[in-house]
Amino acid sequence: MNALLARIARRLLGGYSLLFFVFLYLPIGLIVAYSFNSNPINMMIWDGFSLDWYRSLLGLSTSLNENALYIDSTDQLLAALRTSLVVALTTTLISTLIGTFTALALARYRFRLQKFYRVLLFMPMLMPDIVLGIALLIFFVGVGVPLGKLSIIIGHCTFLISYVFLIVSARLAGMDTRLEEASADLGASPWTTFRRVTLPQILPGVIGGALLAFIISMDDLVITYFIAGVDSTTLPVFIYGMIRRGIKPEINAIATLLLIASLLIAALGLYLRNRKPATSQDDSHG
């Protein structure tokens, strides 16, 4: 009887898991599949395989007539992409520097209210995006900061620093501090110890945090929607504007390209984050 119940429970759990993954990934799979649909009228009706939607995004010649080209302007799309790249790269650089040095400070020094300060660093990740977006909008308007690329960069840094801090802190937790102590005992300066010992140990975590920050900045919509100016439209905001005027076939192609880029960057970031630091075992053979 117990064996029968266990078998039924396993089957129910397996069926639930299958339905969960289908519910989660089927819409994404449909977006990718319909991005190759040649039907310009109803993208839910398969009318043959085509790369025309990808060609139209790149401004290349297609077999579609002018009435089938839904995208407002390739120039507007490329301008939104450039804005997203500028914001993401700048935000990644600032967030990585501040998040890394903050993680080092909290890991190597002890001071009053340290635990409280650590909790504050996690708050931007836990706060709902819409609340953070409204709060940033009120702040920028109140202090007179014009809405544009600068406001987006500042807004993204407010929560991306926390992500970098979390990843670098995890890397520091697994680091052998005796290497730093040995470097100091041998007469190395603090800067030399950091450059030759600490940084190589935490570098995979730093790169992983930077890649994660870049992905989140590129994909962010809710916060950016509140604090973006008229002339600082990012790619997610541009796509959202297209969807508000109707579901267009080229949106599937844009979403697929973003999905592929995000997966590649996320895979690289996870690989670097989980890569074990080099040990001194090789040095013992020298």
pLDDT of residue 282: 45
pLDDT of residue 263: 84
pLDDT of residue 86: 93
Closest C-alpha to 175, from 246, 60, 279, 25: 279
d(CA 255, CA 265): 15
Q: In percent, how much of the chain has pLDDT > 90?
A: 17
pLDDT class for 257, splitting at 50, 70, 90? Answer: confident
pLDDT class for 285, splitting at 50, 70, 90? Answer: very low
Q: Nearest-5° angle of CA 97, CA 102, CA 103?
A: 105
Q: Mean pLDDT throughout 160-164? A: 92
d(CA 136, CA 86): 20
Does the pLDDT of residue 286 top 50, yes or no? no
Q: Which amino acid, one-letter code, is at 84?
A: S
246: left (phi over 0), alpha (psi -120 to 50) or beta: left
**Regarding predicted confidence, which is higher, 4 or 238?**
238
| Residues 172 and 107: beta-carbon distance below 8 Å | yes
Q: In percent, how much of the chain has pLDDT > 70?
A: 86
The three-state secondary structure class of 5 is: helix
Which range has highest mean pLDDT (17-26, 70-79, 243-252, 270-279)? 17-26
pLDDT tens per residue, range 182-196: 877 777 777 888 878
Quote the mean pLDDT of the chain.
Answer: 81
* DSSP conformation class of 37: B
pLDDT tens per residue, range 143-158: 988 888 999 999 999 9
pLDDT class for 162, splitting at 50, 70, 90? Answer: very high
pLDDT tens per residue, range 46-64: 777 878 777 777 766 666 5
d(CA 108, CA 102): 10
pLDDT of residue 109: 81
pLDDT of residue 223: 92
Find the helix or strand (DSSP H, E) in which 249 lies: helix 249-274
Q: Nearest-5° angle of CA 76, CA 71, CA 64?
A: 135
Cβ neighbours around 81 below 10 Å, total: 17
Does the pLDDT of residue 70 top 60, yes or no? no
**Regarding predicted confidence, which is higher, 225 or 109?**
225
**Regarding predicted confidence, which is higher, 87 or 58?**
87
42 to each of 37, 56, 196, 247, how far by Cα in Å? 9, 17, 59, 10
Which range has highest mean pLDDT (42-51, 212-221, 255-264)? 212-221
Does the pLDDT of residue 279 top 60, yes or no? no
The maximal CA–CA distance of the chain, rounded, in angstroms, is: 74
pLDDT of residue 190: 77
Q: Mean pLDDT throughout 199-218? A: 86
Closest C-alpha to 160, from 214, 241, 224: 214
**Residue 226 is encoded by which pair of tokens?**
């509140």
| Residues 95 and 160: beta-carbon distance below 8 Å | yes
**Hey, what domains does the chain have and what are their CATH numbers?**
2-68 (no CATH), 74-278 (1.10.3720.10)
pTM: 0.76
pLDDT class for 97, splitting at 50, 70, 90? Answer: very high
